[in-house]
Structure 1
Amino acid sequence: MRISFLHTIDANQAIFEQAANDLGLSAEHLHHEVRADLRVAVQLAGGITSELRQAITRCLLDLSAEADAVVVTCATLGPAVDGLPHFPIPIVRADAALASAAAKAGGSVVVLCAAESAIESTRRLFETFTAAANQGPVTVVHVPRVWALFSGGDFDACLAETARAAERAYDIGATVVAFAHPWMAPAVSLIRAGHVALDSPRAALRAVMQ
């Protein structure tokens, strides 16, 4: 299976490759495109304009030329996937795949979100899926220290803090904990035994495989 990825953060390439390896997918069949410029443009415009939607669609068309599926790993670009014209291959939103997996798991969902700007869009997305599955509630927990550590380049401390935040969520009654950002995924292995968090790289790749 040939899979192309549209990223906006360089670090996510290795994280999705590790997730693919864990699921038995060969790295030689993965193609990565990093377009930080698209994320910046959306942020500066305050949303996805018609012009930006066209630019993202052109990028996805290029990526789909030699792939069996394309994964959009950035939540900022994710909404551009909704309402796309017919594509010959699946275009998967990583954040939507994660929300779907959390809804299917059922119970009380806690989503850890590091970027303040993504809190409301993350809540709306997860609530859409949990409502459709007649599940809930959904609580989005802002973890600003995780974002500060990530932005400062202290990735080990960032992941340790992410794992601690997940454990706190389970301690107060969460049924499912989900990581809103792909770069949080390595923290899954740091959570104490007995608890598992959902991450978007594995959720997206499982959706592609299905």
Structure 2
Amino acid sequence: MRITCLHTAASNIAVFEAAAKALGIAPDTLRHEVRADLLAAAELAGGLTEGITQSTVAVLLALEPHADAVLLTCSTLGPAVESIARTSRVPILRTDEALAFAAVQADGNVVVLCAVETTLEPTSTLFHRAALRAGTRVDVQLVPGAWEQFKAGDIDGYLATIAQAADRAYVEGASIVALAQASMGEAAALVTAGPPPLTSATSGLRAAMKALVG
């Protein structure tokens, strides 16, 4: 069994490997492709363009022949999956879609935290669509300054900023917090004001395993 992950940050490899180990997924199941240029292009363009979508689709389809499932781990690029998900030879999944499905199962207020501004629109669309089906209320928020810390290489500061935002959301009444981007996942262990936030790595890998078993 092989699950290939398309990342836009090399640091997400360790995040997904750790999530796989915690879920009991066999070693060497995951393969990783990193295309930081795709997210960089989206940031430069102010969001996902048709050209970047086509480039992302091309990469996903190139990974398909060598995988039993493909996971797109970047929430900014997530909508690119929609045009090929139903026609692909193997499951091609968005980790953020799996996260959205898991988050809206919770009763009460769901707060979704984003670090990258370019992911606000696709993440809001995805989570509000899932919430509408489930009858749940969601609030999608940007964590100011976090992505600048990440790009500067201050990963400890980045994770601390995310955790502080999650703690603040719990204090203000959130029932569950979801961390919209894979790079945010390790901040979940730093949260103290409520249950560990949901992460896209764990949700995405669970969805991939379910699709393969199914």
Q: Do the structures match in fold with TM over 0.5?
A: yes
Give unmatched runs, 5+ long, in structure 2. none
Q: Is the CA contact (8 Å cut-off) linking 1:48 and 1:80 kept in structure 2?
A: no
- Matched residue, 1:88: 89
Q: Is the CA contact (8 Å cut-off) linking 1:99 and 1:125 kept in structure 2?
A: yes
- Matched residue, 1:170: 170
Q: Does 1:68 align with 2:55?
A: no
Q: Judge which range, 83-92 or 171-180, deviates more.
A: 83-92
Distance 2:58 2:121 in 1: 28
Task: Tell me the alpha carbon deviations over residues 135-171 of structure 1, each in whole angstroms, 9 at most, x when there is no partner.
Answer: 11x1122211322322221111221221121111111
Distance 2:15 2:132 in 1: 30
- Matched residue, 1:205: 205
Pick closer, same or farther for the CA change 1:37–1:147 going to 2, 3 Å.
closer
Q: Judge which range, 10-19 or 189-198, deviates more.
A: 189-198
- Matched residue, 1:144: 144
- Matched residue, 2:49: 48
Q: Judge which range, 71-80 or 191-200, deviates more.
A: 191-200
- The CA deviation at 1:44 is 4.4
Distance 1:123 1:183 in 2: 18
Q: Does 1:31 align with 2:69?
A: no
Distance 1:193 1:166 in 2: 8
Q: Is the CA contact (8 Å cut-off) linking 1:115 and 1:142 kept in structure 2?
A: yes
Give the partner amino acid of 2:25: L
Distance 1:53 1:204 in 2: 20
Per the normalisation by structure 2, the TM-score is 0.89
Q: Is the CA contact (8 Å cut-off) linking 2:79 and 2:122 kept in structure 1?
A: no
Give the partner amino acid of 2:128: E
Pick closer, same or farther for the CA change 1:57–1:121 going to 2, 3 Å.
closer
Q: Judge which range, 83-92 or 172-181, deviates more.
A: 83-92
User: 1:159 aligns to what SS in structure 2?
Assistant: helix
Identity percentage of aligned residues: 47
Distance 1:160 1:42 in 2: 26
Q: Is the CA contact (8 Å cut-off) linking 1:109 and 1:174 kept in structure 2?
A: yes
- Matched residue, 2:102: 101
Per the normalisation by structure 1, the TM-score is 0.91
- Matched residue, 2:115: 114
- Matched residue, 2:191: 191
Distance 1:148 1:37 in 2: 17
Pick closer, same or farther for the CA change 1:109–1:159 going to 2, 3 Å.
same
- The CA deviation at 1:110 is 0.5
- The CA deviation at 1:10 is 1.0
